[in-house]
Structure 1
């Protein structure tokens, strides 16, 4: 049996949400996927939980954060990483105050300068010190401009193209999370070498102006020799089992509640 490295860290990952901005089922839609009873076709908005050494790090406060946290039994949060500030990735931010109430501590939030500025502008009430703290989350904004360490985890931000805008992916050891992207800049490719598993945006099979479609996402990861490709931010065009059976070897669809583990 292969021994565990003496100083290795264990990283546990939970896919909290695997759906596109509308979620699946989509309101007002009666298509086969939206009316499906298959659990993997029930998709909340995209987010991820990283756990290591008793610490929980959320990636994006998705619109469905409360539902996701209840489903997975998340009792505390120690930090939040933001990929970008589109509504489906930030609009659950007010639910962070429940974690403040439980811990009595502020939660640090990390993002690039445009994301932190956008959050402070759109959710100005959170940062208004004249308001009673019980009515707003207690958050500590922290701008990131490169790799950093968080609770012993090496966090590598990965700049991505998201249509005409941008977003951040995050790499932690052999794993990367690249949601909401339509292309990977040449300057980011070296940050994604030697990965084992990537969860990546793969909205649908048809082209889209601001998201990788499924063939594009798979090809981008094959170019980087990624062994396990997990497609997320899935629309109601995707039936998990029917379409999943036709994916090439090494590629699969994410689903809400999916769990992964890595040694760093």
Structure 2
């Protein structure tokens, strides 16, 4: 079996200026960090509050212990409120020893800085839920989207590397299909595009990859991109 067909939940690790930043801590967060031998975690940035993007938050604890620091979390008020509800023990007044230690940072539509890296939020729609994608220099990461407004598309134009969700072949209520993602890539015209947040309904990696344009590839677990 092709190892690229064994897909865990979508997440992104960024190394820049010596900092180690993760976008989204899904249920597979612990396994992903171990498999990719990531020794340090300086911050977590969240796209939205769904469990497949937040459920692994508790597993930041080894980094708290190793680094002896609190981990900054960046998200919208809606995302942070959901995290405070689902992980209420983290924010309890009487804290149990060894729980995750975090610092909360609320973000909005304005660019913000994390450990020397500037993130430009791009608001996309996940059915009726506003979700953030992020542009970092000439790199743009968008997951869980099925609509992007013309105003937000302007923020993406000029991107050299675009990572975009492409869930499956058939229409879906809250995700781009493969053809919709390809159309968006054609509109943005990046140097290279990668499709992520792939379901088993899209098909096997090698079969789908053979049908894609030369500048488009399916992402896979462990993929590394230098920008």
Quickly name the TM-score band, shorter chain normalised: over 0.9
1:7-156 matched pairs, under 5 angstroms? 37-134=1-98, 136-145=99-108, 146-156=110-120
The answer as to whether partners of 2:209 and 2:217 remain within 8 angstroms in 1 is: yes
Match of residue 227 from structure 1: 191
Match of residue 223 from structure 2: 258
Unaligned runs of 5+ in 2: none
1:217 to 159, 175, 181: 181
The answer as to whether partners of 1:202 and 1:217 remain within 8 angstroms in 2 is: yes
**C-alpha distance in structure 1 between counterparts of 2:51 and 2:18, whole Å:** 29
Between structures 1 and 2, the one with greater helix share: 2
Q: Report the CA distance between 1:75 and its aligned residue.
A: 1.1
**C-alpha distance in structure 1 between counterparts of 2:36 and 2:18, whole Å:** 15
> What TM-score comes out, normalization by structure 2 length?
0.96
The answer as to whether partners of 1:66 and 1:95 remain within 8 angstroms in 2 is: yes
Q: Report the CA distance between 1:122 and its aligned residue.
A: 1.6
**C-alpha distance in structure 1 between counterparts of 2:155 and 2:79, whole Å:** 21
Match of residue 244 from structure 1: 209
The answer as to whether partners of 1:218 and 1:229 remain within 8 angstroms in 2 is: no
**C-alpha distance in structure 2 between counterparts of 1:176 and 1:191, whole Å:** 10
1:160-239 matched pairs, under 5 angstroms? 160-237=124-201, 238-239=203-204
| Residues matched between the structures, number | 225
> What TM-score comes out, normalization by structure 1 length?
0.83
SS of the counterpart of 2:220?
coil
Query: Structure 1, residues 64-112: CA drift from partner, whole Å, max 9, x if none?
Result: 0111111011111000000001111100010011110111100000011
Greater RCO (Cα-Cα under 8 Å, separation 6 or more): 1
Aligned CA-pair RMSD: 1.0
Q: Report the CA distance between 1:249 and its aligned residue.
A: 2.6
